[in-house]
Copies of this chain bind each other. A is one copy, B any other.
Amino acid sequence: MAKTIESYTDVLIIGAGPSGLMAAYWMARCGVNARVIDKKGTKVFKGHADGLRSRTLELLDSIGVAQRVLQEGHEVFSMTSWGPDENGKLCRQVTTDLEPSPPYAIAALSQGRIERFLLDAIAEHSNLEVERGVIGESLEYDEGLESDPHAYPITLKLRTLSEEEASPAPAHGVSDRSLNHAVDVDDQKDTIQRRKHKVGTVETLKAKYVIGCDGAHSWTRKQLNIPFEGSTTDHIWGVIDIVPITNYPDMRRIGSLTNASGTVLIVPREKNLVRFYVPLQEEQEVSQKFDRLAVTLESVRQRVKKIMSPFYFDFDVCDWWTVYQVGRRIAQTNAKGRVYLAGDAVHTHSPKVGMGLNMSMQDGFNIGWKVALVAKGLAKPSILDTYKSERYPLAEMLLDFDRQWSALFLQQEQQKSHAAPVAQETLIAMRDVLRKTEHFSQGHTSYYRESPLVCKQSKAVAQHLTPGEKLVPVRLRSQANGLPSWTTKMLESDGRFRILLLAGDVRSREQASRVWACGDGLARLLRQFTPAKDKLDSLIDVRAIHSAPFADVELDMFPSVVYHFDENEGCDLTKVWSDSACSWGQQSDGKGYETWGVDRLRGGLIAMRPDQYIGWMGELEDVADLARYLQGIFVKREARPML
């Protein structure tokens, strides 16, 4: 009989895809007692999601892996759309330059590589490892324990799977297991299945918090009886990652190509791969009777060939393929008690809007730091409610966007396929939808609402920044060495809240005295919130950003909260930054204050959450108001002795 064991964890993450790993990153980074399980025996190596928007790359920059994505991935700068002209001749109809949002453009890279980088970031900061080949068998939730932060209201039974159970033969597509020879060098160790416990072991696990990142068919969601509303459409798409042999000239641009036989969506990728999305039925054939199981790689090839014609199209190398039935569904909620859902467990939609991976990673990023800080006993449990209020409305917007856009896309496609010019009203409707959703779809606006974490009533010391939105990235120079850095990287995701002391022009004597007075206030504030045993900047980190010319400023012009010497610690030289142009033009432009809308003389204060979202803003004199904002978030401490 299989052995049964019992154990406890503060946080359990179910599913080690992109959203689960983003959440796990925070556990690793904050030193939370956590576990991560995944039912599959190995990580993903090939295929799956692949599109990263610039805002997602900013997150990856803040955890130190954006450079790896750019090194391996394919950045996309140009998008084209092909269709038949009035004579039925296929031609390029629209070319769009995708204006990147600095510091990053859009990039495409296989999900397996993105997971590799996240796993490496986790390993760099902890011993947390994904336990693979483990499924949940039951989940019980004791509401009576919910209000006690020390209690374990969730009881799960977990079972360790055999190699066969953990790698079922896929109905379609290349099995990851058959590809061992071709996986990247640094993934090879992960092709071997390992188990923490013996096969068949059943473990009873008590958890304080659970984050379910287990995909569209989420086991966690089902255990919680949360309905998954919406429907599976009748559209069946083939997805192939191939090295194309073709004379189509735009193979390295993102694009769509439509003719009488249908449409392909084209996404250029790493290593000369290109992803094609292709509908597997002619328009008139779409019906529920279509037999998915009859689809072969050969039939997908023939469909793409037909649509790409008169361009030549073929391939020898297929890295991965699958068949995809578009479902547009949303979970009725993304949180129940102390169990949270993230990613595809909450929302599924068509691939046409290119947002799935991004929304999922942002979900995991959002819930991760909140659970980590609460589980560590640093933040109040009440901040956990903001996960629902911040992320659920975005899931609704996502599905709404997908619904509108897919309908219009279909209209346009049908018109094109009959070699008719696309109707003016269709084009106007598409443009309107794009305009209306642009800020959302690009990730520029998140609409996070008033909450303990977001003080919407802040003073507008930065006129172009909004509480509840991300800090707009700018490039600053370190006062310690002149080295320029984007704020996305400089304000590393390490679990700390950050106070940006926008010190203004510290050459002015009057301004300097405001800055020093503010510095004293901030030092008292850190002592008020930081546990006595910890370093003073372990919970909240103050960074000064001044607007005076780099060469006119010395570090000792700043108060001790950002620059002081300690015989045990030395000086922390990472805390003072200059918004000034670098002699090497492209490296920093000295326009950070301008981008943010901050007065270059007087500066201001900005409180940032660990995820680079703005929580609060005020004048240098508003430290008491800042303290009230932080009191809504952090657990109250005993008075800490003055230094």
> Contact residues of A with B, CB < 8 Å?
64, 67-68, 70-71, 74-78, 95, 97, 99-100, 102, 105, 120, 123-124, 185-186, 243-247, 249-253, 268, 312, 314, 478, 480-484, 551, 554-556, 565, 567-571, 573, 582-584, 586
Q: Are A483 and B75 in contact, with the CB atoms below 8 A?
A: yes
Nearest CB to that of A123 among chain B residues? Answer: B185
- Identity of the chain B residue whose Cβ is nearest the Cβ of A244 in the assembled complex: B570
A76 contacts across to B, CB distance below 8 A: 481
Chain B residue with the shortest CB-CB distance to A247: B565
Q: Chain B contacts of A64 at CB under 8 A?
A: 71
Query: Given that A565-B247, A567-B312, A571-B251 are known contacts, is A481 also in contact with B268, CB under 8 Å in the complex?
Result: yes
- Whether B567 contacts A245 by the Cβ 8 Å rule is yes
Q: Which among A70, A123, A480 has the highest number of chain B CB atoms within 10 Å?
A: A480
For the complex of A and B, list the 3 residue pairs with the smallest distance between their C-beta atoms, beginning with the closest: A252-B481, A245-B570, A247-B565
Q: What is the chain B residue whose CB lies nearest that of A124?
A: B185
Q: Are B481 and A551 in contact (CB under 8 A)?
A: no
Whether B252 lies near A478 (C-beta < 8 A) is: yes
Out of B124, B252, B481, which one reaches A77, CB within 8 Å? B481
Q: Is the CB of B584 within 8 A of A99?
A: yes
14 residue pairs from A and B, CB less than 8 Å apart = A68-B71, A75-B483, A76-B481, A77-B582, A99-B583, A102-B584, A246-B571, A247-B565, A247-B570, A249-B555, A252-B481, A252-B573, A312-B565, A586-B586
Please, which residue of chain B has its CB at the minimum distance from the CB of A189?
A: B189
Residues in B whose Cβ lies below 8 Å from that of A123: 185
Q: Pick the contact of A570: B78, B246, B554, B582 (CB < 8 A).
A: B246
* Least distance between A314 CB and chain B CB atoms (Å): 8
Residues in chain B near residue A74, CB distance under 8 A: 483
* Distance (whole angstroms) from the CB of A564 to the closest CB of chain B: 9
B245 pairs with A568, CB closer than 8 A: yes
Residues of chain B contacted by A312 (CB below 8 angstroms):
565, 567
A99 to B551, CA, bound (A): 15
**CB atoms of A554 and B67 under 8 A apart:** no
With a 10 A CB-CB cut-off, give which of A76, A123, A185, A583 has the most chain B CB atoms.
A583
Question: Using Cβ atoms and an 8 Å threshold, which residues of chain B touch A565?
Answer: 246-247, 312
13 additional contacts, CB 8 Å, given A245-B568, A246-B565? A64-B71, A67-B67, A67-B68, A75-B483, A105-B584, A120-B185, A123-B185, A247-B571, A249-B556, A249-B571, A253-B480, A312-B567, A314-B567
Smallest Cβ-Cβ distance to A76: which chain B residue: B481
- Which residues of B have CB within 8 Å of A249? 480, 554-556, 571
Q: Is A480 in contact with B252, judged by CB distance below 8 angstroms?
A: yes
Q: Separation in Å of the A5 CB from the closest CB of chain B?
A: 29
Cβ–Cβ < 8 Å partners of A243 in chain B: 570
The smallest C-beta distance from A127 to any residue of chain B, in angstroms, reads: 12
A585 to chain B, nearest CB (A): 8
Contacts of A99 in B (CB 8 A): 583-584
